[in-house]
């Protein structure tokens, strides 16, 4: 074997070895990228949850810092109230009338139609008020706040505020969270009042219940403790909805399409969290209100 043949054999072996190594590297690189993609997908909910709690903690800290953005707070309170009051009133009347009508059918069978006010008070104060507040705050108020902040985010207004030394949490997030809390509290009281009024009119005009008996039964099983619990629920609803909407709005990625996705996610997450809060607070408070 000549030196030329030996060199040719070594070159061929090195070419084959480099080809095998390149294929191995490509296979490992592909699988590595797949593993990284899977890990990122699995870690995304945890990352989002951590970011939400970090923003919520920062929001609570900034609530007590001065100066407070009073003008933004008043404007956002009026904005959220404007988009929430009418849907809340339109939802309250059918819910209250349907509950009262169904409950009175049962009471009529026992000859106790005069206790219709008791059933209307229990249903409206304990459940209709919080549920309508959940639906309206998450479906109208939170989505509007998320869309507003999302549009500001994709236009890089929040980055511009940071460059100018203005904290977006203090100037934008805190007023919106407090505005959602204020409107939810007022909305719950309004829903309870309108629901009881609608139930009273329906019972006295359609089902011929005595007005005095209806009013006399309102506080038979429903006391101040139930009203306080309902208002506490509304406060927690508004605060949770405001925090979720602000977080989704300030963490938007992907341009206008990302804003639309953030609004949809705000509705879903707000529904889930608010109904969970309703169940937990009701289960805890019933131990005290019943006794």
- 227-245 tens-digit pLDDT: 888 888 888 888 888 899 8
Using only the alpha carbons of the chain, give its radius of gyration. Answer: 29
Residue ranges for the chain with pLDDT beneath 70: 1-45, 289-291
d(CA 194, CA 96): 9
The pLDDT score that the predictor gives to residue 44 is 63
The pLDDT score that the predictor gives to residue 20 is 44
Its pTM stands at 0.78
Query: Nearest-CA neighbor of 176 among 255, 64, 71, 273?
Result: 71
**pLDDT tens figures, 31-90:** 656 665 665 665 566 777 777 788 888 888 888 888 888 888 899 889 888 888 888 888
Q: Please name the residues in contact with 199: beta carbons below 8 A apart, sequence gap of 6 or more.
A: 96, 97, 99, 100, 116, 117, 120, 124
d(CA 140, CA 80): 8
The pLDDT score that the predictor gives to residue 30 is 57
* Other CB atoms within 10 A of residue 268 CB: 11
């Amino acid at each position: 074997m000549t030196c030329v043949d030996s060199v040719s054999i070594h070159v061929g072996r090195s070419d084959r070895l480099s080809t095998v190594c390149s294929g191995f590297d490509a296979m490992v690189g592909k699988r590595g990228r797949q593993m990284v993609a899977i890990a990122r997908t699995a870690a995304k909910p945890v990352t989002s949850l951590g970011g939400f709690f970090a923003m919520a903690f920062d929001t609570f800290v900034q609530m007590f810092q001065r100066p407070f953005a009073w003008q933004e707070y008043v404007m956002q309170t009026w904005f959220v109230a404007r988009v929430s009051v009418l849907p809340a009133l339109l939802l309250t009347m059918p819910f209250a009338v349907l509950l009262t009508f169904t409950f009175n059918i049962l009471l009529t069978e026992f000859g106790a139609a005069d206790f219709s006010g008791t059933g209307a008070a229990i249903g409206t104060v304990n459940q209709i008020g919080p549920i309508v507040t959940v639906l309206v705050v998450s479906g109208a108020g939170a989505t509007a706040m998320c869309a507003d902040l999302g549009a500001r985010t994709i236009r890089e207004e929040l980055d511009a505020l940071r460059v100018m030394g203005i904290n977006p949490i203090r100037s934008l997030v805190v007023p919106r969270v407090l505005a959602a809390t204020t409107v939810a509290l007022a909305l719950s009281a309004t829903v309870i009042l309108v629901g009881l009024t609608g139930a009273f009119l329906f019972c006295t005009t359609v089902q011929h219940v005595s007005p005095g008996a209806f009013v006399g039964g309102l506080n038979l099983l429903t006391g101040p403790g139930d009203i306080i619990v309902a208002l506490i629920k509304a406060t927690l609803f508004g605060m949770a909805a405001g925090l979720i909407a602000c977080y989704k709005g300030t963490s938007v990625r992907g341009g206008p399409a990302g804003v639309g996705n953030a609004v949809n996610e705000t509705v879903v997450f707000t529904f889930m969290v608010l109904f969970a809060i309703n169940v937990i607070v009701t289960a805890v408070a019933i131990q005290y209100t019943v006794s």
